[in-house]
Each structure stands twice: as C-alpha cells, then as structure tokens.
C-alpha cells in the first residue's frame, strides 16, 4: 500500500542517516566473517555447549555481542575433514569433565567445569600474548595446566561449528579484524581453535526497481549501534596483540560472571 511504502522509506532513510552520523566521514565498510571453531566432545549436547554456549564464541572489542553473530548447529568433523593437530590422539579437553560422566543438568557440574576451564584457557591465551604471568579467576575447574588439558579418550569426538560474525573495517583492515575475531576463540590449553573460512564485504544490494538498499536498512538498531561502538574502540589499534590480550582478559572475567549470574537466576 502507498502509505505503508512511504512509511518504510522514511524508516529506511532514518536508519541510513543514523548510520552516516556514526560514520563521521570515515571510509568504513560492513564485513561478514565466517569462522569455523572446533572442540572435542562426548556427544552432540556437550558439543553444543562447548561450541556455542558461554564458551568459544567470537568476541568483539566490546565483548560478547550476540546480535552481531549467528551460530550454526555443531556437527561431527568427518574423517576426511581432520587436519593438522586434530589428527593426534591427544585432544584439548578438561580432565575434570570426564569425572562428571553424562551429567546434563543445566548449570550442573559438567557445565561448570567447562566454563571454568575456558576461563582459565582465556587467561592462558592472554598470558601468551602479553608475555606476562596471569592468574585466572579462583575457580576449581579440574585443569591445572596445559598438559592436563590434553587427554586421550576413545569416547571423545571432534566437532565443529560455524559462526557468522559482523564487523566494520576501514581500508585494508578487514583481514586483521577477521583474524582477531577468530583469535578470541581458544581451546582448553589456551591455544587458537578457530579459523576464518570466508570474508566478504556487505555493501547492500539493488532491489527489483534498481534502488540501492543500504546495509544499515537490513540491520536492527541494536546491531547497527553495536557495530559502531565496536569500531570506535578498535579503530586506533586494529590487529595489535595488546588489544587482543585486553579482550581476552575481560572475557576471562565476563564469561564466568555471566554463567554464574544466569545460574543464580534459574535456581534462586
């Protein structure tokens, strides 16, 4: 209807205006980053937790931003898809989790062990980047050091998931921004466990009438604001190890806090 069409055009124009106000004349584009993450797990429910809930989610400079990420369903890695260190008998997995058996209670012992192990892994990753000793939050996670997080167990399989993540980048910055997002995902030893498998710009599209549809029109207001908040933080030091170390340090605190807060909200 003409009235609804005019209202939509006004909304679209307002979205674009807000976008350009945040741009402030900077040559910045919207990018779509596809990231593949891998983790060992006993079964599909555990793989789902270890690859998409609280842990192993790509982090922006402003933290974990679900509105800028879409996560697929974890799947077993086929035999012909195993590459690099994945083929070794030893896989990254917290020893404490094996003692939990098939505990599937929400926020139960198994989930607590996985989250706590990941908190320590983030701290280890940050320590490697900053070349400084870092103490993880004081939680008993069943993982004391790198060697104890690598085990050989026939019940463990390798799983993978794809995250599709949005970010902004200036000229020449997109590969570094994508690599940084992937580097925020680590295994239980604090080593990188994700890789960028696709990177492409999103400049909108032409509709059936030949009208250019601005990418801002396709985003909800929260996503658009988060993109610019994130880029405002990243602009000055894209790709710098010290910036990545800061992201990991904050995440080591936030992951545990979020898990603990959610658990309290369920059981109080």
Q: pLDDT tens-digit profile of 84-121?
A: 555 444 578 998 898 887 778 889 999 999 999 999 99
Q: Could you tell me the pTM of the whole model?
A: 0.88
Give the tens place of pLDDT for each residue, 199-238: 999 998 888 888 888 999 999 999 999 999 999 999 999 9
Q: Which range has the worst mean pLDDT, 132-141, 195-204, 212-221, 244-253?
A: 132-141
DSSP H helix total and E strand total for the chain? 7, 9
Q: For the chain, which residues make up each domain, given as ranges?
A: 2-267
Which pLDDT score is estimated for 23?
94
pLDDT greater than 90 at residue 78: no
Q: Which of 195, 254, 222, 226 is nearest to 55 (CA)?
A: 254
Place of tokens 């997109």: 174
Q: What is the mean pLDDT of residues 152-159?
A: 82
Place of tokens 């609280």: 54
Q: What is the mean pLDDT of residues 140-161?
A: 66
pLDDT greater than 50 at residue 260: yes
Which pLDDT score is estimated for 262?
93
pLDDT greater than 80 at residue 138: no
Q: What is the mean pLDDT of residues 173-184?
A: 98
Strands (E), 42-73: 69-71
Give the tens place of pLDDT for each residue, 14-71: 989 999 999 999 999 999 999 999 999 999 999 999 999 999 999 999 999 999 999 9
pLDDT greater than 80 at residue 83: no
Query: Are 182 and 188 within 8 A, CB to CB?
Result: no
Residues 6+ apart with CB under 8 A from 98: 151, 153
Tell me the C-alpha distance between 206 and 67, whole Å.
Answer: 25
Which pLDDT score is estimated for 101?
72
């Amino acid at each position: 209807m003409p009235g609804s069409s005019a209202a939509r055009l006004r909304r679209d124009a307002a979205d674009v205006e807000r976008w350009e106000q945040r741009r402030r004349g900077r040559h910045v584009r919207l990018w779509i980053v596809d990231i593949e993450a891998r983790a060992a797990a006993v079964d599909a429910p555990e793989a789902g937790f270890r690859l998409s809930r609280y842990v192993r989610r790509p982090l922006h400079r402003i933290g974990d931003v679900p509105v800028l990420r879409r996560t697929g369903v974890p799947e077993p890695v086929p035999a012909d898809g195993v590459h690099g260190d994945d083929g070794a008998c030893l896989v990254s997995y917290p020893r404490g989790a094996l003692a939990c058996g098939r505990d599937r209670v929400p926020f139960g012992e198994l989930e607590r062990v996985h989250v706590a192990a990941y908190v320590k892994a983030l701290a280890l990753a940050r320590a490697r980047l900053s070349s400084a000793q870092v103490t993880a939050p004081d939680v008993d996670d069943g993982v004391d050091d790198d060697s104890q997080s690598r085990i050989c167990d026939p019940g463990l399989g390798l799983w993978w998931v794809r995250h599709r993540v949005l970010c902004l980048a200036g000229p020449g910055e997109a590969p570094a921004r994508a690599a940084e997002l992937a580097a925020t995902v680590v295994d239980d030893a604090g080593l990188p466990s994700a890789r960028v498998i696709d990177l492409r710009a999103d400049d909108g599209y032409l509709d059936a009438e030949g009208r250019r549809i601005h990418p801002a029109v396709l985003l909800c207001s929260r996503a658009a604001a988060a993109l610019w908040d994130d880029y405002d933080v990243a602009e000055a030091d894209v790709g710098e190890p010290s910036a990545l170390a800061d992201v990991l340090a904050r995440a080591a605190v936030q992951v545990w806090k979020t898990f603990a807060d959610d658990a309290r909200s369920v059981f109080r």
